[in-house]
Amino acid sequence: MRHLTRIFDSAVTENQHAKTALRRDLLAARRALDPGERRTAAAALAARALGLPELAGARTVAAYVSVGSEPGTRELLDALRAAGKRVLLPVLLADNDLDWAVYGGPGTLAEAAHAGRMTLLEPAGPRLGPQAVTTADAVLLPGLAVDGRGMRLGRGGGSYDRVLERLERAGARPALVVLLYDDEVVARVPEEPHDHPVQAVATPSGVRRFSS
């Protein structure tokens, strides 16, 4: 039994190192994009994502405000709100968990109190509590990559791992969609036991779904 435990722990450690290396390469590629490329990608991504039946049929969508070189979400957020969707945005807590508030438009975003080195924008409305995400019909997830099985690579902070665990504990079954650049759909993402697959990925050039 101890031998099997050592093998399991070794595999987990190798996957952690592989994730770190892949994150480094993907973040470098994002930083290399010029502002014009990012704006073009954001507009195309909004159009692709809005065509998803999972979003078209959703009453409540949990989303996020993109930061830095992430695929832009601001156009998508405003389009979802204009379409009559209730859009929930995350509020970063001191312990790296996420609270939620309703998005009231571009003028209602403020810089986060616990942003660290990144400039995070959060909704200024009343906080609804971490459980509010369980009311969403669709959850848009940030990420760095996804593979052909739907396994998503996040930034490693753990905030969305908690979100996914919360959804599972509550028995909630929203559509999980990750938003990426085209080159971030990769052959294989290293996975750990806590990782969850997504149902779809939207990129500027199209949408791909994964079997459950």
Consult the annotation and say whether 159 binds a ligand: yes
Consult the annotation and say whether 65 binds a ligand: yes
Of 210, 201, 159, 156, which Cα lies nearest the Cα of 182? Answer: 201
Consult the annotation and say whether 74 binds a ligand: no
CA distance 45 to 37: 12
Consult the annotation and say whether 157 binds a ligand: yes
Consult the annotation and say whether 160 binds a ligand: yes
Consult the annotation and say whether 19 binds a ligand: yes
Consult the annotation and say whether 135 binds a ligand: no
Consult the annotation and say whether 156 binds a ligand: yes
CA distance 46 to 49: 5
Element (H, E) at 138: strand 138-141
Consult the annotation and say whether 158 binds a ligand: yes
Consult the annotation and say whether 22 binds a ligand: yes
Contact 41, 181 (CB under 8 A): yes
Q: DSSP secondary structure string, 93-122?
A: -TTS-EEEEE---GGGEEE-TT-TTS--EE
Contact 142, 179 (CB under 8 A): yes
Consult the annotation and say whether 153 binds a ligand: yes
Consult the annotation and say whether 21 binds a ligand: yes
- Give the number of other Cβ atoms within 10 Å of residue 112's Cβ: 18
Binding site for substrate: residue ranges?
65, 70
Binding site: residue ranges?
19-23, 65, 70, 152-160
Binding site for ATP: residue ranges?
19-23, 152-160
